[in-house]
Homo-oligomer: A and B are copies of this chain.
Amino acid sequence: MNIEDIARASGVSRSTVSRVINDDPNVSTKTRDRVLEVVKRLNYHPHAAARSLAAGRTRVLGLVIPMGVAALFSDPYFPLLIQGVSAACNARDHSIMLWLADPEYERRTIRQILHGSFIDGVILASQLNDDPIGHALIEGNLPFIHIGRHPTNDTLHYVDVDNLAGAQEAVMHLLRLGRRRIATITGPQNMIAGFDRLAGYEAALRQRGLLVEPELIADGEFSEAGGYVAMRRLLPHHPDAVFTASDMMALGALRAIREIGLRIPDEIALVGFDDMPFAANTTPPLTTIRQPVARTGAIAAETLIDLVAHPQQPPRRILLPTELVIRQSCGALASPSAD
């Protein structure tokens, strides 16, 4: 069944049916209603490929997740992000094409994406600075938006959370609680989130006139195992608090602390970043910086759809605010209470 059938069945022309389907205002209410009735009755759905071919738009957004950081993909971050992107696409009659850019296939994937006319635009969920896919996109002529700000190129569109401010708030919170030997477990410094969160840590210390001591900084690679290893390296330096740049790493830190038997928060306070679903259920519950992951995805999708419709806009640089979520691990709450 095609548009011609609908035209015949409702006694109008192909063009009119097309107008109705595409919400063109130049159709009389009477005609529109008649056509819509037929469309519904015959359960007609326009053929996506034909539509794309004729219109030059696919109503599909590409979501590209480079797997250079494959290990991280089992992080709940991505499902949340995808949920946000998906919701925004649903609401605006778009679909998502998902590409996990396996390094091995990366070159092929890039070309396929750029030249295959599959999609109208790309959301690049790269956490890595200077990702080759990012470069390829700059050279292509497909609209695209980054999840995560670009460290140097400020002509690009992006959506990110304010990692620096969030990290700074976390550390300020620990400082307000009287902690003075605050360590940090960082993410990889070639990921902008890792970089910015360390910058936030340093900013907070400086703001209080404290020194940034290198032995209180350890890289935890944004993973549980990395957090554990990093914490074990930090413990000999006797920090009285730790800010971990992700909840996942906080989990590892928690494990290391538990192993040597220090009490949290009395002997060592802990603040994470992300507010992942599990953060409320650790022992003790984790104080952390909440970031709106799903919303980040949704805004990226919406912005991109807008960019497809109106290209050549000045760069959109969107920073979403974070929020400090106080639970037991930081020691701010007098007695352990239900969350």
Contact = CB atoms under 8 A, between A and B. Distances in A.
Interface string A82-94: 1100110010000
B49 A53 contact: yes
A66 to B, nearest CB: 12
Nearest to A225: B281
Contact of A105 (B67, B90, B96): B90
A199 to B, nearest CB: 28
A98 B100 contact: no
A116 interface: yes
Contacts of A228: 281
Nearest to A118: B48
A90 B109 contact: yes
B53 A47 contact: yes
B82 A74 contact: no
Interface in A276-316: 276-278, 281, 283
Interface residues of A, number: 57
Given A63-B98, A98-B97, A74 B76 contact: yes
A46 B111 CA distance: 11
A30 B100 CA distance: 36
A58 B63 contact: no
Contacts of A259: 283
A82 B75 CA distance: 13
A80 interface: yes
B73 A83 contact: yes
Contacts of A73: 79, 83
Interface in A125-169: none
Given A82-B100, A97-B96, A100-B86, A258 B283 contact: yes
The winner among A48, A225, A283 for most chain B CB atoms within 10 A is: A48
Contacts of A58: 48-49
Contacts of A48: 49, 52, 58, 116-118
A319 B105 CA distance: 29
Given A100-B82, A281-B228, A43 B115 contact: yes
Interface string A19-53: 00000000000000000000000011111111111
Contacts of A47: 53, 116-117
